[in-house]
Amino acid sequence: MAKDSKKRPPVTYRDAGVDIAAGNRVVSLIQKAVASTHRPEVATDLGGFGAMFHPDWSKYRDPVLVSATDGVGTKLKLAFLTNKLDTVGIDLVAMSVNDLIVQGAEPLFFLDYFATGKLKPEDAATVVEGIAAGCRDAGCALIGGETAEMPDFYEPGEFDLAGFAVGMVEKDEIIDGRSIQDGDVLLGLASSGPHSNGYSLIRHLVIGEGGPGLDTPFGDTTLGEALLTPTKIYVKSILALAKQYQVKGLVHITGGGFWENIPRILPDSVGVVLHKSSWPRPEIFSLLQELGSVDEDEMLRTFNCGLGMIAVVAADDAEQALAILRDAGEEAWQVGAVVPRVSETDEQVKIID
């Protein structure tokens, strides 16, 4: 350092853009919401270095831990533009716990990661309250997380979210699709909209050049509000079904749509035929298809088109299984069947009218 340089005044972390007091404020704002998700197995309070969870091992014979992690994706951009931050936390939980339940695992606990350029405690608390709501819906505990303030890393007013869930399933009750066979049937569970997939295309269609914009009226609300409808959580209804009937396979319809997700659970010897006329396609998907003249195959590859989850059950169980799902609050339909696959070159998924 040059001898004639002036001594710099004392600098704090806050001067560099990180406000520790704001982080502490977030913790104080979210304590009640976090506590509302706790299960008896939670063994620590909010604020520890690590979160502890003590399972009741007497409930299990041969338990397997199942984990999943995900984010909300570019759906967050719509939340920023509309300043509607109370639902994206539900999306965050849903994307992970729905992946757990397809393997039969009951979600036990959840952790979140919230990162932003400049922390606004009230906004962060609103997001975490949504996360807590999602955890209550899934029956899992929000036991920890991280709030990161990263100056100059994000655009003003923006943030990113990531989530991590852990669940448990008995080894002999894992749902893996191995028992799926010719003659089984597919039950479709209604989605609440696009969930958290396809939003790069959605933004291109809605707020890109020539798009109608988020303030456009749509039914009883606006297009922006409709597109921020949170992802549906299927945990409790699927657990209710699995207690009474064998669920041979489950498909969470996310990125890749029907073409990419259904084959992930099918034995090589079978395929499926889906009938599009067997379930109603919500208006939001018809609008999106019209806005971009989107090809039908592209719609089915990008969006759930009204089905967020598909369950495979034996044909003899279908009627009773539908009744259980509907009693649990789901809109559900028989949407297709499992069929033999003659050769490896045959398509595993056929979708017809």
- Per-residue pLDDT tens digits for 5-16: 567 788 887 878
Token couple for 247: 């669920």
Largest Cα separation within the chain, whole Å, is 89
- Say whether pLDDT at 18 is over 70: yes
Question: Tens digits of per-residue pLDDT, 238-294?
Answer: 999 999 999 999 999 999 999 999 999 999 999 999 999 999 999 999 999 999 999
Average pLDDT for 68-84 = 97
What does the pLDDT read at residue 5?
Answer: 56
Q: Residue 47 pLDDT more than 80?
A: no
What is the average per-residue pLDDT within 149-170?
A: 95
Phi-psi region of 246 (alpha: psi -120 to 50; beta: other; left: phi over 0): beta
Q: Give residue 39's pLDDT.
A: 94
End-to-end CA distance of the chain: 76
Which residues share a beta bridge with 217? 222
Q: What percent of the chain has pLDDT over 90?
A: 88
Mean local confidence (pLDDT), 79-91: 97
Contact between 169 and 317 under an 8 Å Cβ cutoff? The reply is no
Q: Which of 24-38, 73-87, 308-322 has the lowest mean pLDDT?
A: 24-38
Q: Which residue has the tokens 């920023």?
A: 80
Residue 21 or 97, more confident: 97
Confidence of residue 44 (pLDDT cuts 50, 70, 90): confident
User: In the predicted model, is pLDDT for residue 350 greater than 70?
Assistant: yes
**Residue 166 pLDDT class (50, 70, 90 cuts):** very high
Domains, in order of start, for the chain: 20-173 (3.30.1330.10), 185-352 (3.90.650.10)
Give the CA distances from residue 137 to residues 35, 36, 108, 182, 260, in Å, rounded to whole numbers and listed in that order: 14, 11, 12, 34, 27
Report how far residue 272's alpha carbon sits from residue 276's, in angstroms, rounded to the nearest whole number.
13
Predicted pLDDT at 46: 80
What percent of the chain is modeled with pLDDT above 70? 98
- Check residues 344 and 202 and name the one with the higher pLDDT: 202
Query: pLDDT tier at 4 (50, 70, 90 boundaries)?
Result: low
Q: What is the mean pLDDT of residues 20-44?
A: 90
